[in-house]
Amino acid sequence: MARVRFDKLRKVFGRDVVAVAGLDFEIADGSFVSLVGPSGCGKSTALRMIAGLEEPTSGRLLFDDRDVTGLEPRDRDIAMVFQSYALYPHMSVRENLEYGLRKRRVPAAERDQRVARIAAMLHIEPFLERKPRQLSGGQRQRVALGRALIRDPEVFLLDEPLSNLDAKLRVHMRAELATLHARVGTTMIYVTHDQLEAMTLSDRIVVMSQGVVQQIGPPEEVYARPANRFVAEFIGTPSMNLMAGELDEEGGKARFRRNGVTVPLPDSLTAAADARQVLLGIRPEDIRITADSGEATIPAQVAVAELAGAEKYIYLDVAGMQIIARTDADSPVRGGDRVGLHFRPDRLHLFDGTSDEAKAIRAG
């Protein structure tokens, strides 16, 4: 097991395609960290640099205090699960599992022992003599995990390992992965574009966009206090509602204004605000819908109410903008209704400007 430290790690492809613009953070020993972001954000390149499959343009990579920047993949003591599983097609499951041990000259008796242990742990004993093409997607996935686990590596890398599975199996394997990590306790670094996977599995999430880290933190924090507009929109489904408008003041109280709609802001938010152009953010579940459009509410019109099993998504029109609210499935709201909205004041987010990098405005 090891701590992984990125020291200004940077990767530029060709002359000026910046894949990773400088990673500078540390992953704690034994933790489960997800690199998450849209495709092309540099997360896979970052992972491949940890694996040694991609050479950094500059910067260093350290496992504990060992500089591994220039080491070959095989000298790093890492294991990796590929999106395609990358099982060796001409070898049986047993040979696939054993390959890394053979390369490291582990004696036959110990190899058998380890294969038996891993096979039992992942429930793949019945398939040991089969070839990968004779296995189902889920079984292949398990073998790929087994091949990585069997070596007992210092760092475990996973590159979108669940994305080739169907939805049901994906949820199942997600839970298995979490159990597995709790059991083996190895440092795991997980790359995904699926923010839900990142949220459910990780101790910490690293949100990346265009080669730059946008925010690092525990899932709850990244969700509750997104650092900028990009993170706010990327994390959470449906994503956070964002409304562009202006900061205003009335009677010493700050408020948000747009097209005649005003939202009073809590003091904690306005203390730090000095920008005039802002984005106001509110998550769908932090909006309460009331039937009457009273004094303290924001008037809105319901466009569509969508039932999604246990909950309902209400698409609303507020001052010419569409926003989404999430309610209980038994909410009586229907398309065409005029309603009043109440935003939970402690769950409001304010962003400085309207660009992707617009920083969250926080209390002093």
Partner 1 sequence: MTRSFRRSLAQGRTYLLVILLLLFVGFPLFWMLMSSGKLNSDIVRIPPVWIPFLPTLEHYEELFEVTQFGRWFLNSLLVCSLSTISAVTLGVLGAYSLSRLKVRGKELLGRSVLLAYMFPGVLLVIPLVLVFTRIGLMNSQVGLALAYLTFALPFVMWVMRDFLASVPVDLEEAAMIDGASRLEALRDVVLPQAFPGIIATGIFAFLFAWNEYLFAAVLVRSHDLQTLPPAMANFASAMDTRWGLIMAASTLATLPMAIAFAFVQKYLITGLGAGGVKG
Residues 6 or more apart in contact with residue 94 via CB below 8 angstroms: 115, 128, 129
If the CB atoms of residues 151 and 181 are measured against partner 1, the closer one turns out to be 151
Whole-number minimum distance, CB 20 to partner 1, in Å?
Answer: 17
If the CB atoms of residues 152 and 285 are measured against partner 1, the closer one turns out to be 152
The residue behind tokens 């306790």 is 185
Give the Å distances, CA to CA, from 330 to 284, 300, 343: 16, 20, 20
What residues make contact with partner 1 under the rule CB under 8 A? 51-53, 72-74, 78-80, 82-84, 86, 88-90, 99-100, 103-104, 147, 151
If the CB atoms of residues 148 and 205 are measured against partner 1, the closer one turns out to be 148
Whole-angstrom distance, CA of residue 287 vs CA of residue 324 = 9
Question: DSSP assignment, residue 359?
Answer: B
If the CB atoms of residues 51 and 171 are measured against partner 1, the closer one turns out to be 51
Residues 6 or more apart in contact with residue 103 via CB below 8 angstroms: 74
Whole-number minimum distance, CB 134 to partner 1, in Å?
Answer: 17
Give the Å distances, CA to CA, from 279 to 296, 302, 348: 21, 22, 10
If the CB atoms of residues 92 and 210 are measured against partner 1, the closer one turns out to be 92
Whole-number minimum distance, CB 90 to partner 1, in Å?
Answer: 4
Q: Which residues of 15-50 are buried (b: 16+ CB within 10 A; e: fewer)?
A: eeeebbebbeeebebebbbbbbbeeebbbbbbbbbb
Whole-number minimum distance, CB 48 to partner 1, in Å?
Answer: 8
Whole-number minimum distance, CB 12 to partner 1, in Å?
Answer: 13
Whole-number minimum distance, CB 34 to partner 1, in Å?
Answer: 20
Q: Do 193 and 36 meet the contact criterion of CB atoms below 8 Å apart?
A: yes
If the CB atoms of residues 85 and 230 are measured against partner 1, the closer one turns out to be 85
Task: Collapse the DSSP code of 202 into the 3-class scheme (helix H, G, I; strand E, B; otherwise coil) and give the result.
Answer: coil
Whole-number minimum distance, CB 91 to partner 1, in Å?
Answer: 8
If the CB atoms of residues 94 and 229 are measured against partner 1, the closer one turns out to be 94
Determine if the peptide bond prior to 132 is cis (ω within 30°): no
